[in-house]
Amino acid sequence: MRARQRLDEIYAIAQHRAGYSPEEDAAHELAARWMREAGLEISRDDAGNLFGRRGEARVWAGSHLDSVPTGGRFDGALGVVAALEAAERLPAAPLAVVAFRAEETGPMGSKTVTSFPDAYLEVHIEQGPVLARLGEPLGVVTAIAGQARGFRVFEGRADHAGTTPIDARADALVDAARFILHVRESAREGTVATVGAIEVEPNATNVVPAKVTVSVDARSADGDLLAALIEEIEFEVQWKSDPVPMSDAFAKVLPDAPRVVSGAGHDAMFIPNSSMLFVRSLNGGISHHPDELSSDEDIALAVDALTAALARLAS
Ligand SMILES: [Zn+2]
């Protein structure tokens, strides 16, 4: 299918297309060529976001074309390619296909957008196993999770690892280990919490750990659940974002599709009146990895749904 061929073409430019790199530039050039071929008018804003417009476009559809170093074919690029397919199926509809810049590092492009459309639609690979577990090809995203990131510090005392009796130690890493389990146990239905980084001082094999700093990443699409989770874990919050509810544009055309939340951030967070559609991730939901995969059949269903949603909004 053409959408899949185009994903392969973008991937062939480079697996790693960092934001504002020559590789991302090349992907934008390629997308601009496809937009022109579809009869769309090309423009770029100050951030370098690429638009392919037809008429007084009040509805946008798209995603991003940058990728992480270990990226696969679908993250981001699928949303742009699907939007191109839908735009060609609606030759009279006033709409814009958009490719945002540098989503993986910020996002930098969508964050700067100030002239908003009535609606923004984004198709994205799920990047998780939920839809595959449900046996469903598509999921309507109800909200993008809010996040809290921070840390917790444990203070102990450095001592000789051979001569200090166990009951005479103040081992900061043992306290941190208990905390890491507590973080995991605090995450219940509707929330996730992760310790992804620890710093041990002095970090020597023969010294009792004196000080340990543990990172915490807590997320929920429900603001109350997120607040309760932060309170239960007890950590120093350095940065926090609120959940972002999505509009019902995809729900209107897919009334029976499962409702899911997005644990990851997306461009849609920064554009008002956004709606997102997830496409089932195969291979166990693996993403940011070359084995990332959605089937041609599932992509075709996503393009159908996007076309129907755009037709409603752009008419
Ligand atoms: Zn993405």
Q: For residue 127, how far is its CA from the centre of ligand 1 (angstroms)?
A: 9
> In the predicted model, is pLDDT for residue 222 greater than 90?
yes
- pLDDT band, residue 116 (cuts 50/70/90): confident
Mean pLDDT of 199-215: 98
Considering the domain architecture, whether residues 159 and 279 belong to the same structural domain is answered as no
Centroid of ligand 1 to alpha carbon of 77 (angstroms): 8
254 pLDDT higher than 90: yes
In this structure, are 101 and 8 located in the same domain?
A: yes
> Two tokens at 259?
């409702």
**CA 43 to centroid of ligand 1, rounded, Å:** 22
The tokens 């696969």 sit on which residue?
A: 72
Distance 296 CA to ligand 1 centre (A): 19
CA of 276 to the centre of ligand 1 (A): 12
**Total domains, the chain:** 2
Eight-state DSSP code of residue 237:
E
Mark the residues whose beta carbon lies below 5 A from ion ligand 1: 75-76
Q: What amino acid is encoded at 186 in this protein?
A: S
At 53 the pLDDT is 97
Distance 311 CA to ligand 1 centre (A): 24
The beta strand positions in 101-210, using DSSP E, are 119-125, 138-144, 146-155, 191-194, 198-201
Residue 114: pLDDT band (50, 70, 90) is confident
Q: Which one of 241, 260, 294 terminates a domain?
A: 241
Taking the centre of ligand 1 as the mean of its atom positions, its distance from the CA of residue 105, in whole angstroms, is 11
Query: The domain spanning residue 169 has which CATH number?
Result: 3.30.70.360
Confidence of residue 106 (pLDDT cuts 50, 70, 90): confident
| Average confidence (pLDDT) over 186-212 | 97
CATH number of 134's domain? 3.40.630.10
pLDDT tens figures, 229-238: 999 999 999 9
In this structure, the answer to whether residues 9 and 74 fall within a common structural domain is yes
- Reduced to 3 states (helix: H, G, I; strand: E, B; else coil), residue 106 is coil
Q: Which domain holds residue 189?
A: 146-241
Query: 111 C-alpha vs ligand 1 centroid, how far in Å?
Result: 14
How much is the pLDDT for 197? Answer: 98
**Model confidence over 297-315: pLDDT tens digits?**
999 999 999 999 999 999 7
pLDDT at 288: 93
Q: Which of 180, 211, 241 is the last residue of a domain?
A: 241
pLDDT greater than 90 at residue 227: yes
The secondary structure element, H or E, covering residue 183 is helix 172-186
Give the pLDDT confidence score for residue 315 in this predicted structure: 78
Q: Are residues 118 and 195 in the same domain?
A: no
Pair 235, 247 in one domain = no
14, 124: one domain: yes
Calculate how far, in angstroms, residue 13's C-alpha sits from the geometric centre of ligand 1: 17
Give me ligand 1 centre to Cα 159, in Å. Answer: 47
Among 218, 241, 264, the domain boundary falls at: 241
Tell whether the model's pLDDT for residue 287 goes beyond 90. yes
Structure tokens at 249: 């544009």
Cα(236) to centroid of ligand 1, in Å?
A: 28
pLDDT at position 201? 98
Q: Average per-residue pLDDT in the chain?
A: 97
Mean pLDDT computed over 157-161: 98
Same-domain pairing of 163 and 87: no
- Compute the distance from residue 201 Cα to the ligand 1 centre, in Å: 36
